[in-house]
């Protein structure tokens, strides 16, 4: 048990020393209108889709969407991000006595967030400015983290010595998307898929070009 607590403490120390605090607050305009309107249309376009996969089978996909009221007085363009991840227990949650802190992690669940049109443009600028030029960067006993935040997502590109990592924290709005039954945030990260960022950027730019 003593060894387990030492490992647990080491994990916390690693996370806090390697990455800045993840804070995401608010709702996208798209989500606010989905909740507020009783009649609307919702268009999804999977012909322009980009996907990240982790080594444990988790998947994040992103594609363009259009929200419109039945009378077309409100039309909102943006992106939907679908996350299919394993059940997660925060490293800040104290471990159960006698049991590792990994209960039910074999089960997967799905959540979705939205990125409004104005935030899509900022996301493109972030990737072009901060990630693409630094995909092959490295440091010696140093790290640098590049951050992008939307109302519903925190995205990080971390260069720590010779390793690069993409991390996404998304707000868990629950199974119905209205904030009921959800947790705080969901984390997805990958190191093996960093090299696919240029294709990810290309898909987002294609999607943005079609937004009115």
The answer, yes or no, to whether residue 5 has pLDDT greater than 70, is: no
Rounded to an integer, what distance in angstroms lies between the CA atom of residue 182 and that of residue 179? 6
Alpha helices in the chain (DSSP H): 2-18, 29-36, 117-126, 197-209
Number of domains making up the chain: 1
pLDDT tens string 27-68: 999 999 999 999 999 999 999 999 988 878 889 999 999 999
Average pLDDT, the chain: 82
pLDDT tens string 168-198: 999 888 777 777 766 767 888 889 889 999 9
User: In 3D, which of 32, 31, 83, 79 has the Cα closest to residue 54?
Assistant: 83
Q: Which residues contact 4 (CB under 8 A, 6 or more apart)?
A: 95, 100
- Taking the CA atoms of residue 134, residue 13, residue 189 and residue 88 in that order, the dihedral angle to the nearest 10 degrees is -170
DSSP 172-206: ---TTSSSTT--SEEEEEESTTGGGHHHHHHHHHH
Is the separation of the CB atoms in 25 and 58 below 8 Å? no
Rounded to an integer, what distance in angstroms lies between the CA atom of residue 127 and that of residue 106? 32
Write out the two tokens for 143.
Answer: 């790290």
**Range of 132's domain?**
2-209
């Amino acid at each position: 048990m003593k060894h387990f607590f030492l490992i647990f403490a080491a994990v916390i120390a690693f996370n806090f020393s390697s990455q800045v605090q993840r804070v995401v607050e608010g709702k996208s305009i798209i989500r606010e209108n989905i909740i507020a309107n009783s009649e609307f249309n919702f268009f999804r376009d999977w012909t322009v889709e980009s996907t990240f996969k982790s080594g444990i089978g988790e998947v994040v996909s992103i594609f363009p969407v259009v929200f419109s009221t039945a009378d077309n007085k409100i039309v909102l363009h943006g992106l939907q991000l679908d996350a299919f991840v394993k059940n997660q227990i925060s490293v800040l949650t104290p471990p159960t006595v006698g049991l590792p802190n990994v209960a039910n992690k074999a089960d997967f669940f799905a959540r979705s967030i939205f990125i409004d049109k104005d935030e899509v443009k900022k996301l493109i600028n972030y990737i072009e400015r901060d990630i693409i030029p630094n995909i092959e960067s490295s440091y010696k006993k140093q790290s640098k983290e590049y951050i992008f935040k939307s109302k519903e997502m925190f995205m990080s590109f971390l260069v720590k010595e010779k390793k690069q990592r993409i991390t996404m924290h998304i707000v868990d709005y629950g199974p119905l998307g209205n904030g009921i039954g959800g947790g705080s945030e969901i984390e997805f990260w990958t190191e093996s898929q960093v090299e696919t960022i240029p294709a990810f950027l290309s898909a987002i730019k294609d999607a943005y070009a079609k937004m009115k």
